Structure formats: C-alpha cells, structure tokens
Structure 1
Amino acid sequence: MEDEDYWNTSETKAKAFSFDDDVLSTQEILAIGQKSYSGQSEESIFSNVSITTVKSAAVPLSSLVSSKVLDLILLAQSGRDPSREAKQEPEETVAMTLKRLTLGRSCSLHVHRSMKSKTELLDGALAIGDGNAVLTVVLFLIQTLNKKLVYELLSSRPVALNHYIAFLHNEGKITELADLLTMLGRSPEAAMYQFQHAVKTQGSLDALLRKLSNLFANHFQQPGVDQHQAKMIADYIKLLEWQKHINKPDLKYRSVIEWLAYNCTQHWHEGAGNAMSPLTLCQRHQISPLQYDWVVLNVHAKAGKWDIVESLFTKKDWLGRTTVSSHIPIETLLARLSELQASKQLLATCVNKIAGNDDRLRLAHMYKIHSVVIETLAKQKDRAALTNYKMTLSPQSEEYILAENTLRDASIKWKN
C-alpha cells in the first residue's frame, strides 16, 4: 500500500511520464528539446516551467527532426493531403518521347492522344532518321488510329511506308501487306508479294498450282498489269504443270535452269521430241540461247567432257579454220573457260576471235597464251616488243623457240 500511496501523490504524478498518447504534440517536442545550461541541474530540465520563459535556451528543432519529416508532420496535423502537395511530374512532350526512343529507353507512347501529337511523333522520328523509332511510331499509329487514316499518313511519307512494308514482309503478314498496297493503288505489287509468299510456303504441288492459278486469274489478267510479270507467273505455272507430269519428287519446285542442268547431265543425247531432251525443254519454256550456252558450258566442263564443249562452241569455216560460235560475250566466255581450266588451244581459239589487235594482245597476256602474243606482235612488226617478250619465256621451251624463229623470219619487215 505504501507503494500505491507513493505513486498517487501529486508530486510523483507531476514527475511521471504520460503514455496515454502515442503522438507528441509540437509543444511537447519543443519541451523535450530543451537543453540544460550552465548552473542548471539535470532534474530542472523537466521542471514545471512555462514554455515562453525558456525560448532563449531552446535547441533548434531541426537538430532533432529533419525538415522533410517536420513538413510531413505539420501537413498531417493541418488536415491537408500530402500527396496533393507533392511536386507534379512535368508533362511528357513529343521531344522527350523521341529522345527516349532513340536512346532505347522505355517510354509510353499512349500519353500522346491527339492527332497532332501523333503526327509530330512520326515526323520527328523521320527527321531523326532512326528506323527503329520510325517503325515503333508507325505500329503505335496502327494500334490507335483508323487504318485508312494511317495509310493516308504513310502515303505522303515514303520512308515510313517502306519501313512498314519491310516489317510486314519480314513478319509474313502478307494479307495486311496486300491490303495496304491495294489501298494505296499498288495492286500489282501486292499480287507479286502474294506470289512470292505462295512460292516460299509451297505446300503440295497441287495446292500450289491451285493457289497460283487463282492468283493469276484474279490479279495478273487485269488491265494495266505489268506484262513481263504476268508472263513470268504464267511460265512458272506451266513449269509446275510439266513437273507434275514428269513426276520426279526429288526435283520438285526446281527452277527451269536447274531442270536444264539435270537434262544436260542425264538426257544429253535424247532427241528433240523427247520430253526430257534439253532442246525440248528450251523450246517449251523459252530458255534463251545465252542461258542454254551458259548451262551447257558449265555442266559439261565441270564433268570433264571437253569434247562436248568444243563441239558446241567451235566450228570450222569454209577455209578449214576453227572459229568460235557462242552467244556468250567473248571476254565472259574466256574468263569462264580459264576458271574451268580449259586447254590453251581452246583459249587461243577464243582469243583469236578478238578483232582488235590491242584487245587481242591484252587478253593473250592476261591468260598467258604465248602463241597468240607472238603472232600478234609479228603482225604489228614490233621486233623490240617481241624480243623483250621472248626474254620472259623459259629458255628452249616451245614458246621460246617459236618467238626466236619468228624473229629470224626474213619475210617480216620489222618497223624497229
């Protein structure tokens, strides 16, 4: 009981702390912040002294509580919403969005809702020249605007349009690409993309034939269609029909040139009336003489059948001289024969067909056809040049002896 009497005394109550309130008032915080000064005892800090009498001895509140925390306390006590007092973020501008796009930072384009803002985004990306930014903005416009409106914007901005066309093509979105090009008045181009996609995806031969036949009827037989493209599609359909008739699964979907190479290898000696004859194939599918010569040259030369190559490209004239007969330009033919390691005799026959002495001499030097060089210098009556050339040849070689005998030829009236 004595203990209870002690705690009930007024003096004890005055000295005791109160735990009734969890939050201290501003005055209580200030009172706690009082600091003893010289001559004042520890106990006197908590004595019952008026706040107004100790202002001069009070420690600044900022040394006990940070200014930010104090502001929040005062805001809470004032009854105002602290969230409304927070500083507002600056509004997202077109320039800020474009900067984030070009730097690869995350950003939301959906804050730009007006047509003006969206158009500025597209034009800004085009002005910067960043393809990824341009495509990102275009895809955003496709998501948030009517497609017709977007297509109108793109039609006056070719760079943005090309980026979007390339994106649709790479992603295999051929239907959307065809719709876009058709709306822009480019139906033939849309049809070509559909043709390429059909050939690329293929499927069964019958399914591909049906798809291409429908595409040809609906798009490539209309007025204004490019006739070269229409012929190309018609020829390809004709080739597929021939492949279906031949029925060789390992050669399915091969090009007509690949079929020609196969026929030259496997059916070279078959007559023109046979379906697999190279000549029949050329006639049926309008293979040009140049294409035919090039395929035959490469197929037989690689197989080492030089007798076929020489019989095809060299002829005897009425004087018994060997001449070259080919639709391949002579310099191209020479370069390819050299790559395929043709004989020097065949190369010499080709070089001798060159009409101009300077060109003939240049090519003979290039391919080291010594006999032609010696003969041409003799025709030019250039003894000094022939003497110098003889010194580059191996002594006592066939070419060296030819050059020496030519220099001794008394019938030649040398100019030097």
Structure 2
Amino acid sequence: MSSWQYDRNEEILTDLCRDLLRSLVTFGLKSSVPPKRPSNPPILSARGTVNASRRPIEMSTATTGSVHYSKLVGNEKDSINLSSSRVPQINEHKRSASDSSGKKQFPDVPSPTMSADSTSSIEEAMRNDSKQTMTETARLVAENKSLERKLVNLKKSRWSPLSIADLVSRIITGENFSLEPYKSLKDKLALLDAVVGYHDGNAILAVVMFLKRTLSKSLFHEELHKRPDAANQYIAFLKVRQDDDVAKEMGKLARTDDAAMWRFKIASEEHNPEARCRAVSNCYSVSFRGIESREFEAEVVQQYDALLSKQVVIEPEDARLQHEEKSPFKENPRKASLYFQPLITTLFYCCLYHYFDPETSYSSPQVFKRDFKLTDKQYLYTALRARSTIKDWDSIETLFTAKNWRGKAKFKAPMKFEKVVEILAGMNAPIDIVDKYLRLVEDVEIRLVLANRYQCHMVILDALCDLKDRQRLVQYQDRTKDQLTQTRLEAILRNSDN
C-alpha cells in the first residue's frame, strides 16, 4: 500500500469516528430516548457526513457488499473500498483496473483496522463527557429547586409578619418589605415607635402613610400628635408635595400657628397682584385677626395687606402717565413695576415720583411714614437718597429745616450730619452742597477729616481757625494751589499775627 493511500484511509477513519462521537454526544446524551435511525442513512465521506443527493455513489458488482466512496481530485477519480460493517476492514480481494462499466478504478486498498486502544479511548471520552453533562445537569436541577423554595418562602413571608427589628432593617436598607401582615393597633404603634427611634425619615414616612391608610382619621391624628418627630416628617412630606390639605392637617395635629403661617405663605405666592391682595386680606381675617397669641404676626400681615392695597392703586395710574409721557415720568422714566416691591423700595419710589403729593393721597410719602409707623431716620435716609437721585437739592434742604417755638428756622436731622455728607458725596452732589452740610458737623476733628477727604478747602481753613492751629495753617499753605484759598489763608495768618 502506498503512503498516499494509507493517509487517505486514515483521514476517512478519523472523520468517521469524529462524526460518530459528535452524534452520540448531541443526540444520545441529551435525550433519554435513543434517536431513530433514518430510513435513508446519510453517506459517509472523507469530509464527514453529507447528503446522498449531493455525492455520486458507485455500487460495485462484487458480492462482498462493499461501497465505493468517490471524490473527484483534479482530473482523476480515487475510489476507496470500505466494508459495509461499522468499522472498515482490510479487503482480501483486489479490484481490477476497470469495473464492469468500463470506468478506470484504482486497486482496492485495504483499510487499517482500529486498534483496541483507539476504541477504548473513544469510549472513555464518551463516558467522561457523559459524567460532566450529568454533573452539570444535577447542579442546575439543584439550583432550580433552591430558587423555587426561596420563591415559596417569599410568598409565604408576605402574609407572615417579620419581627419589628427585621422589618425596620429591611426598610432602612432598601430591601423588599410588606406592612400588610401587621393588623393589630399594638403592632402598628410598636412599628411606628421603632422607626422613630432610628430617626430615618424614609422609614418613618413609610410607616406613617401605612397608618394613615389603615387607621381612622381621628385615631391617626391622635397617635401622630403624641410623636412630634413623626408629625414633623409627615408635615414636611405634605409641604414638598404642595398638598392642599397641609394647613388642615397642621390644624388637626394642634399646630394652628404653623397652619396660619402656611396659609400666609401660599397667599403671598400668588402671581396676580389683585389675587394676592385678596388672598392676603382673607388670610389675615381668618388666621390672624383677633388672636392674641399671634398679635405680632397679625400686625405684619396687616401691614403687608395695606402695602399691596396701595401698590394696586398706584401702579396702574403711574403706568398710564408714563405711557402718555407726562411729568415726572417723562424726565425720569420708571425702570420697574411697583408691584410686589418691599416697603422701603415703595417709599423710595413715592419720594421719587410723588414727593409733593398731598397727605390725602395714597401715594404721599408722609402717608407711608404714618401708616407704616416708620421712624424719622428711616424716612429721612430713604427720602435723601431718592431726591439726590434726581438732583433736587432744594427739596433736600426742606428735609433738615425745622422751626423752633419762636418760628426761627434751623437745620436739624435725626441722624448725624457726617452721615448726610457721606450720602450726598456718594450721590455726586456739587461741592457747594457738600460744603454746606459739612459745616453742620459738630465735631471739629471729624469735620476736618471729611473736609480733607472731599477737598473742601474753606471748611478746612475754618476748622483750623477754630482749633487755633497756626502751624497746620502754615503747612496747608504749601499744599493748596487755589488762588481764592491762598488769599483767605493769608488773611487768616495776618489776623493771627495781630
């Protein structure tokens, strides 16, 4: 036998064994019922199992029952004679060079028999593979049974209550839990006390909402009132949700003051000016007026209601005047609406545009001072800044002019004049205006410091004269370049020599 023919036979045997092993593993080990042999068995070739219709089969006329498996290689046909038994045997007869059909054939090459070692190795591999598959199957079956037991236990645990400690631990750690098994009032309250002791907001809220759903309203509010921490968490939850029943729930929990302030908060968040004014007025009437414990809060709410009422009257009229470009809005156009502005801002606005309105008018600054009980200092500071904004220095003078019992006018202010000077200088007032109010500063040293800061030379000279400080006058003579100041300084020095 040539080496080429031997290699070909060995290749065929190897492929055949591999196909048999694959078929056994695929069909024999994964099914308890052995597969039926097909009526038309597939053709085994050197390349494995193929369909009979795709490969030509040449049947020999010999009586040995052998089958020729042919494959076209190049321009020649090689045919290999295999026995009809499962394991090919060595053929004892030689084939002629040509068969009865006249086709040229190679002599039959006897196939090498499979040794006992090869057969045992295949069987051993099949047994090992079968053992591994059975082990894996057993493991999967055991795991499946374990999961089924866990599922059954989980379903049972839904209706069998856990210990309170275990349940609270599940709630806090975010595990699955059920509160339904807790039926008695004693268990529910014990559970509520337990979660309150842990100070966990989410756990407290979960139990509180469970109690709200399963207890009567009166009993729920009674028990929650006894536990302030739980009540705080419940109220905070309602506030976040912007629930309409927040004030009502606060009242049922005996938190009437909190309920009143919540109603005021909701009323003051209305976006429409008229609607906010009505809501605040109604809130004052229902929750604050006539209640001694809220006397201070009632005064604040009442003032806010009055402020909104004035703004609702002033704003539409001023908007119309500005639209028509009438005074004073033509010279100083408004930059913002008056709606929802605080009290001092509203007073500043009225000092800016309604300073000379009569006291019978809603917009008069004096009416604001009276109705809202503003101090003289609050009013003066606001009016001074407002009138300085539009450079109305004459009206500023009237703020500090007062008459004594003899009818003589004099300058008087509820604040120190050094503060007035700082405000005027900050508003870029002319130097003569600053000089005028700087002379009203009583303390000479402070007056001298401010005069040096704002370069008021005449005030500096007068202050040094009041101090009778000739040395500083001489030093100041070298610092100033102003001709008028030099002349005045020389006159002062001559008089001091005399």
TM tier, smaller: 0.5 to 0.7
Q: Does 1:143 align with 2:209?
A: yes
- The answer to whether the 8 A contact 1:174-1:193 is kept is no
Q: Distance in 1 between matches of 2:203 and 2:410?
A: 65
Alignment map for 1:1-400 (pairs within 5 Å): 19=27, 22-23=30-31, 41-46=117-122, 65=132, 70=135, 73-74=138-139, 76=141, 81-83=145-147, 107=174, 114-115=191-192, 118-122=195-199, 136=202, 139-140=205-206, 142-146=208-212, 148=221, 152-153=226-227, 155=228, 161=232, 172-173=242-243, 175-176=245-246, 178-179=247-248, 181-182=250-251, 185-203=254-272, 205=274, 207-241=275-309, 248=316, 250=319, 257=344, 260-274=347-361, 276-314=363-401, 324-387=411-474, 393-396=479-482, 398-399=484-485
Distance 1:324 1:198 in 2: 45
For the 8 Å contact 2:208–2:234, the answer to whether it is kept is: no
Residue deviations 1:149-180 (CA, integer Å, cap 9, x gap):
55654x359xx95x98777667644741x346
Per-residue CA deviations over 1:275-323 (Å, capped at 9, x if unaligned) read 55443454455454334323322222111212211233356999xx996
Q: Structure 1 residues 263 and 58 mapped into 2: Cα distance closer, same or farther (>3 Å)?
A: closer
- What 5-or-longer segments of structure 2 have no aligned partner? 1-20, 34-114, 154-164, 183-190, 213-219, 320-337
Whole-angstrom CA distance in 2 between matches of 1:188 and 1:17 = 85
The DSSP-based 3-state class of the residue aligned with 2:293 is coil
Instruction: Give yes or no for contact 2:170–2:177 (8 Å, CA) kept in 1.
Output: no
- Could you report, residue by residue, the CA deviation over 1:86-133 in whole angstroms, capped at 9, with x for unpaired residues? 9x9xx98978987x8xxxxxx4585799435522542xx6xxxxxxxx
Distance 2:236 2:447 in 1: 48
Q: CA deviation at 1:273?
A: 4.3
d(CA) in 2 for partners of 1:265, 1:356: 32
Q: Distance in 1 between matches of 2:358 and 2:116?
A: 130
The whole-number CA distance in structure 1 between the counterparts of 2:120 and 2:171 is: 64
Q: Report % sequence identity.
A: 20
Measured in 1, the distance between the counterparts of 2:421 and 2:252 equals 51
Separation in structure 1 between the aligned mates of residue 226 and residue 390 of structure 2, nearest angstrom: 58
Q: 1:339 to 1:93 in 2, by over 3 A?
A: farther
Higher helix share: 1
Structure 1 residue 223, shift from structure 2 partner: 3.6
CA–CA separation in structure 2 for the residues paired with 1:334 and 1:275: 31
Gap change, CA 1:380 and 1:204, over 3 Å in 2:
closer
Name the CA shift for 1:166/1:60 in 2 (closer, same or farther; >3 Å): same
Distance in 2, matches of 1:382 and 1:109, equals: 90
| Partner SS state of residue 428, structure 2 | coil
Task: Give the distance between the partners of 2:295 and 2:119, measured in 1 at CA.
Answer: 110
Distance 1:227 1:284 in 2: 18
Partner residue, 2:102: none
Measure the CA separation in 2 of the matches of 1:269 and 1:188: 42
Cα distance in 2, alignment partners of residues 364 and 60 from structure 1:
113
TM-score (norm 2): 0.52
**Change in CA separation of 1:61 and 1:182 when aligned onto 2, cut-off 3 Å:** farther
Query: Residue by residue, what CA displacement relative to the aligned partner does 1:32-60 show, whole Å, maximum 9, x if unpaired?
Result: xxxxxxx962123357xxxxxxxxx9999
Cα RMSD, aligned residues only: 5.2
Q: Aligned partners of 2:238, 2:375: CA distance in 1, in Å? A: 36
In structure 2, relative to structure 1, the CA distance for the partners of 1:247 and 1:22 (3 Å cut) is: closer
The CA distance in 1 between the partners of 2:461 and 2:176, in whole Å, is 77
In structure 2, distance between residues paired with 1:305 and 1:80:
93
Runs (5+) with no aligned partner, structure 1: 1-14, 26-38, 48-56, 101-106, 126-133
CA separation in 2, counterparts of 1:115 and 1:375? 81
Q: Distance in 1 between matches of 2:207 and 2:476?
A: 73
Change (3 A) 1:289 1:188: farther
CA contact (8 A) 1:109 1:140 kept: no
- Give the deviation of 1:263 after TM superposition: 4.3
Q: CA deviation at 1:219?
A: 2.0
